[in-house]
Chains A and B, each alone.
Chain A
Amino acid sequence: MPAENERRQRLLQLAAGAVFLAIVAVAVLIVVSSGGSGGDTNLEEKAEVNRLLSGIPQKGLVLGDPKAPVELVEFGDLQCPVCKGYSEEILPPIIEGKVKRGQVKIDFRNFTIIGPQSVPAGAAAIAAGEQGRGWNYVELFYRNQGAEDSGYADDAFLKAIAEGAGVKNIARWEKERQKLTPEVEKTTAEARRLSFSGTPSFAVKGPHSNGLEPLGTPGSTGAMEEAIEKAS
Chain B
Amino acid sequence: MSRPTSFPSEWTLQRLIAFVAALGVGVATYIAIADSGGGAPVCIAGGSGCQTVADSSYSHLLGVNVAVFGIVGYLLLLASAFLVGDAARFGGFVVALGGFGFSVYLTYIEVFKIEAICQWCVASAVLMTILFLLSATRLIGYAGAEGELAADAG
Contacts and interface: CB of A to CB of B under 8 A. Distances in A.
A54 B143 contact: no
A106 B16 CA distance: 53
B97 A19 contact: yes
A68 interface: no
Contacts, number: 90
Interface of B: 1-3, 38, 48, 51-52, 55-57, 59-60, 63, 86, 89-90, 93-94, 97-98, 100-101, 104-105, 108-109, 112-116, 136, 139-140, 143-146
Given A7-B86, A7-B144, A166-B57, A12 B115 contact: no
A149 interface: no
A1 to B, nearest CB: 8
Contacts of A136: 55
B57 A11 contact: no
The main secondary structure of chain B at its interface with chain A is helix
Interface residues on A, range: 35 or more
Given A12-B143, A33-B113, A166-B57, 17 more contacts: A4-B146, A5-B2, A8-B145, A11-B86, A11-B90, A12-B1, A12-B139, A18-B93, A22-B97, A33-B105, A39-B113, A46-B115, A50-B116, A54-B48, A54-B52, A136-B55, A166-B55
B12 to A, nearest CB: 20
A26 B109 CA distance: 12
A139 interface: no
A34 B143 CA distance: 38
